[in-house]
């Protein structure tokens, strides 16, 4: 006799033989016994739970010639034998996956009106969710009002894809997975009936591989009987799960390599691992899955305690993401390994530290007081991060406003007043060379004034720039930056302007702001003056390209303000640059230059350049030529403001 698989040889033939579906068996048996059978049924559930078998038993019971009092078919009459052999004319089985067109459904509905030899004609549509939309709509009318002798039984593994109009015309029953307490006796009974008794280890293995599906469990039992024992790949999933529980990357990749080398598909390995991790999570939460054998519950609880809840959930998410990517992946193993490496890399960086890390997390800025865990690895790394102090630029702003408040009120009345008197005396009394020692009182007064505390909030560069800030003429550009309490003065920002700001701009903006002079930096506003010939309106439009770079440099949100005194004279720009850069000359030289510049401002020779600068404005062609010289190969586009 030709060999037949176990799930076909031992397919249930009576309602009492259906395993794990008491609600469905009770409802159908009562309907047959009391002659209240509906015209359409929808059976939904996972594979291997008894949908097709139950439909065949119902077809046998409806046409049985010797129905028992319990509503069971006799399994002895010709009708029952024909249904069991698959030759009955009263049971028409259609695979909706292949017969899913409108023509197939139309042909079925036309033949449904024909009377058969039995009392009832049963149509079994398997995988009904595979019907096309047009075929489903063609079935609606016949399904709603079929002939009196016709019964439709629709089976599906995905009821959500079935049209609501079809579901509303049927009696719906959901079949569930079979628990381990019912599966194990069923497997043992079938093995004995097949003449191959098995021990408890094999029964547990078959039950685990079945995962609630009777057909999968019997197929696994067929494999064990054919191989003469449990296959060697049983430990593959356990080795992988144990490596994940210990967060051992090397052992994890070795387990995957050994499993795939033994012929295990990467998708099957990922599914079994995810199922095992789910069982561990449920057991760790105090829920024991019904389909899990008692021996596996103990091992799952132990692994759950080692792995921890957080890492368990992250592993489930990683495997779920890998399973979702595998259908579009060219190499399933690579997808699985990439997901596992990403999971364990996050664990190595401390992202998945279970419960020890939160105690070290609160003192993030505190520094020395953070307790360090005794164990190394991720916990120690996280504690080291918690003990790291903040950079000085972040800690300085809260302290900065306090020291400048008193000097700002006291310095202007004391420091600026003494220098004008010596400057006035020095201008007319040019022959009095010995009177040069008169300037020392000014430094003495500046030392007496509270100028030294000013650089304290800033950096060492501000302290080096303190002597020029004492001069009343050149200190006007640097004083607002230090008084406002900013972490960087205008002079410092001027030195960093071209290498750290301009070089990051795009070519057009780089040409506009390259020679700009930083006038002031107050809180989050940086004021600059453009070089001669640069269009003001165009610079203001381009300022939004500079502000993100300034914000990154200053570590705070910065706003760029373009002064409207941009192209008045080249001398003014040079003077600002000299004032913003700390000079090594003695204090007497700036005072003398200031005294020399003051009378020149009232002289007629100094007043003539302003009208000449206004009348001799650079033409548009000159501006275009200047831009072309600065950016060779650029394209000139004219607008209403200027040429770019």
HEC per residue, 180-223: HHHHHHHHHHHHHHCCCCCCHHHHHHHHHHHCCCHHHHHHHHHH
Which residues make beta-bridge pairs with 517? 529
CATH 1.20.272.10 intervals, the chain: 233-348
- What pLDDT digit, counting tens, does each position of 278-326 carry? 989 998 888 887 777 777 788 888 888 888 888 899 999 999 999 999 9
Instruction: Report in angstroms the alpha-carbon separations of 48 from 17, 176, 519, 568, 600.
Output: 14, 10, 80, 89, 103
6-174 has CATH 3.20.20.60 classification: no
Please identify which residue in the block is written with the tokens 């030195």: 495
pLDDT at position 467 is 44
pLDDT of residue 116: 78
What are the phi and psi torsion angles at 174 (to 5°)?
-100, 130
Q: What is the per-residue pLDDT across 121-135, written as a single tens digit (0 to 9) for each? A: 999 999 899 888 888
Count, in order, helices (H) and strands (E) of the chain: 33, 8
Whether 17 and 48 have beta carbons less than 8 Å apart is answered as no
Q: What b/e sequence results for 592-615 when a residue is b if at least 16 CB atoms lie within 10 Å of its CB, and e otherwise?
A: eebbeeeeeeeeeeeeeeeeeeee
Residue 541 Cα distances to 302, 385, 562, angstroms:
65, 41, 10
Report the candidate in 169, 347, 160, 339 with the shortest Cα–Cα distance to residue 246: 347
Question: What is each CA distance from 416 to 37, 404, 448, 470, 475, in whole angstroms?
Answer: 108, 17, 13, 8, 10
Question: Average pLDDT of 28-49?
Answer: 91
Rounded mean pLDDT of 136-163?
A: 89
Contact 356, 379 (CB under 8 A): yes
Judge whether residue 115 has pLDDT over 90. Answer: no
For the chain, the average pLDDT equals 73
3-state SS, 533-593, equals: CCCHHHHHHCHHHHHHHHHHHHCCCCEEEECCCCCCCHHHHHHHHHHHCCCCCCCHHHHHH
Q: How confident is the model at residue 489 (pLDDT cuts 50, 70, 90)?
A: confident
The residues pairing with 638 across neighbouring beta strands, listed in sequence order, are 643
Query: Which of 147-156, 205-214, 590-599 is predicted with the least confidence, judged by mean pLDDT?
Result: 590-599
Inform me whether the pLDDT recorded for 458 exceeds 70.
Answer: no
User: What pLDDT digit, counting tens, does each position of 195-217 carry?
Assistant: 888 888 888 888 888 888 999 99
Instruction: Report, as an integer, the average pLDDT of 251-271.
Output: 88
| pLDDT > 50? residue 237 | yes
Q: What is the structure's pLDDT at 435?
A: 41
User: What pLDDT, in 10s, does the model give residues 419-431?
Assistant: 444 433 433 434 4
Is the pLDDT reported for residue 54 higher than 90? Answer: yes
For residue 493, pLDDT over 50 is answered with: yes
Tokens representing residue 590 in the block: 């700036």
| Domain span(s) for CATH 3.40.50.300 in the chain | 6-174
Q: How far apart are CA 467 and CA 450, in angstroms?
A: 13
Q: What is the C-alpha separation between 462 and 464, in angstroms, rounded?
A: 5
Q: What is the pLDDT of residue 105?
A: 87
pLDDT score of 179 = 87
pLDDT-based confidence at 350, cuts 50/70/90?
low
- What confidence score (pLDDT) does residue 359 get? 37
Long-range contacts of 292-296 (CB under 8 A, 24+ apart): 292/180, 292/208, 293/180, 293/184, 293/204, 293/207, 293/208, 295/204, 296/204, 296/208
pLDDT in tens, 556-577: 888 888 887 644 333 333 334 3
Both tokens assigned to 338? 């990439």
Instruction: Give the three-class secondary structure for 352.
Output: coil
Give mean pLDDT, residues 349-373. 40
- Asked if 482 and 469 count as a contact pair (C-beta separation under 8 A), the reply is yes
Can you give the pLDDT at residue 261?
86
- Residue 97 has which token pair? 């996956």
Instruction: Give percent above pLDDT 70 in the chain.
Output: 65
Q: Strands, DSSP E only, in 237-395?
A: none
For the domain spanning 233-348, the CATH number is 1.20.272.10
How far is the C-alpha of 550 from the C-alpha of 524, rounded, in Å? 10
Report the distance separating Cα 136 and Cα 129, nearest Å: 9
> What is the rounded CA–CA span in Å between residue 345 and residue 350?
9
Torsion of CA 453, 455, 456, 459, to 10 degrees: -170
pLDDT, residue 174, reads 93
Token couple for 534: 């640069």
* pLDDT for the residue 175: 92
- For residues 308 and 525, give the distance between their C-alpha atoms in angstroms, rounded to a whole number: 50
Q: What is the pLDDT of residue 565?
A: 60
Assess contact for 449 and 415: CB atoms under 8 A: yes
Q: How far apart are the C-alpha atoms of 642 and 618, rounded to whole Å?
A: 12
Between 99 and 234, where is the model more confident?
99
pTM above 0.85, yes or no: no
Average pLDDT value for residue range 339-354:
70
Q: Is 370 helix (H, G, I), strand (E, B) or coil?
A: coil
pLDDT band at residue 349, thresholds of 50, 70 and 90?
Answer: low
Residue 415 has pLDDT above 50, yes or no: no
Q: State the Cα–Cα distance between residues 239 and 124, nearest whole angstrom.
A: 44
């Amino acid at each position: 006799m030709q060999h037949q698989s176990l799930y076909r040889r031992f397919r249930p033939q009576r309602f009492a033989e259906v395993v794990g579906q008491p609600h469905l068996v009770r409802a159908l048996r009562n309907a047959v016994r009391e002659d209240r059978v509906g015209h359409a049924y929808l059976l939904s559930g996972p594979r291997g739970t008894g949908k097709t078998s139950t439909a065949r038993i119902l077809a046998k019971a409806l046409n049985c010639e010797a129905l028992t009092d319990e509503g069971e078919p006799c399994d002895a009459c010709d009708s029952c034998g024909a249904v069991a052999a698959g030759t009955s004319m009263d049971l028409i089985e259609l695979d909706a996956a292949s017969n899913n067109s409108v023509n197939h459904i139309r042909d079925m509905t036309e033949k449904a009106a024909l009377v058969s030899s039995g009392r009832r004609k049963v149509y079994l549509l398997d995988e009904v969710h595979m019907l096309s939309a047009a075929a489903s709509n063609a079935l609606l009318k016949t399904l709603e009002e079929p002939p009196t002798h016709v019964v439709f039984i629709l089976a599906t593994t995905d009821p959500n894809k079935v049209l609501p109009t079809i579901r509303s015309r049927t009696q719906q029953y959901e079949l569930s997975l079979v628990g381990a307490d019912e599966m194990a006796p069923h497997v043992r009974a079938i093995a004995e009936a097949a003449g191959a008794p098995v021990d408890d280890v094999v029964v547990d293995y078959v039950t685990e591989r079945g995962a609630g599906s009777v057909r999968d469990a019997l197929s696994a039992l067929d494999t064990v009987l054919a191989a003469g024992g449990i296959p060697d790949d049983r430990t593959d999933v356990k080795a992988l799960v144990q490596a994940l529980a210990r967060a051992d990357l090397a052992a994890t990749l070795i387990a995957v390599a050994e499993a795939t080398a033994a012929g295990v598909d990467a998708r099957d390995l990922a599914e079994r691992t995810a199922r095992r991790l789910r069982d561990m999570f449920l057991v760790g939460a105090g829920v024991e899955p019904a389909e899990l054998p008692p021996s596996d519950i103990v091992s799952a609880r132990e692994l759950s305690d080692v792995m921890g809840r957080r890492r368990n959930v992250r592993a489930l998410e990683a495997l779920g993401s890998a399973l979702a990517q595998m259908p579009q992946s060219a190499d399933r193993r690579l997808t699985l390994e990439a997901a596992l490496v990403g999971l364990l890399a996050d664990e190595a960086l401390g992202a998945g530290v279970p419960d020890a890390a939160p105690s070290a997390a609160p003192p993030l800025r505190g520094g020395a007081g953070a307790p360090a865990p005794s164990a190394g690895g991720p916990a120690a790394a996280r504690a080291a991060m918690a003990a790291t102090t903040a950079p000085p630029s972040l800690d300085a702003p809260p302290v900065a406003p306090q020291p400048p408040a008193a000097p700002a009120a006291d310095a202007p009345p004391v420091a600026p007043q003494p220098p004008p008197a010596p400057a006035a005396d020095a201008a007319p009394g040019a022959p009095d060379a010995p009177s040069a020692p008169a300037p020392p009182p000014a430094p003495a007064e500046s030392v007496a004034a509270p100028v030294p505390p000013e650089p304290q909030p800033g950096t060492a560069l501000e302290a080096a720039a303190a002597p020029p800030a004492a001069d009343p003429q050149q200190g006007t550009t640097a004083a607002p930056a230090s008084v406002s309490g900013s972490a960087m003065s205008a002079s410092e920002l001027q030195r960093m302007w071209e290498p750290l700001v301009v070089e990051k701009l795009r070519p057009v903006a780089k040409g506009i702001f390259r020679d700009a002079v930083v006038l002031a930096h107050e809180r989050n506003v940086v004021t600059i003056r453009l070089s001669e010939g640069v269009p003001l309106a165009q610079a203001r439009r381009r300022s939004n390209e500079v502000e993100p770079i300034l914000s990154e440099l200053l570590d705070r949100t910065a706003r760029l303000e373009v002064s409207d005194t941009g192209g008045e004279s080249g001398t003014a720009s040079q003077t600002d640059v000299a004032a913003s850069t700390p000079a090594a000359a003695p204090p007497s030289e700036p005072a003398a230059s200031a005294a020399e510049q003051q009378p020149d401002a009232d002289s007629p020779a100094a007043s003539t350049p302003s009208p000449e600068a206004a009348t001799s404005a650079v033409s548009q062609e000159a501006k275009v030529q200047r831009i072309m010289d600065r950016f060779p190969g650029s394209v000139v586009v004219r607008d209403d403001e200027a040429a770019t």
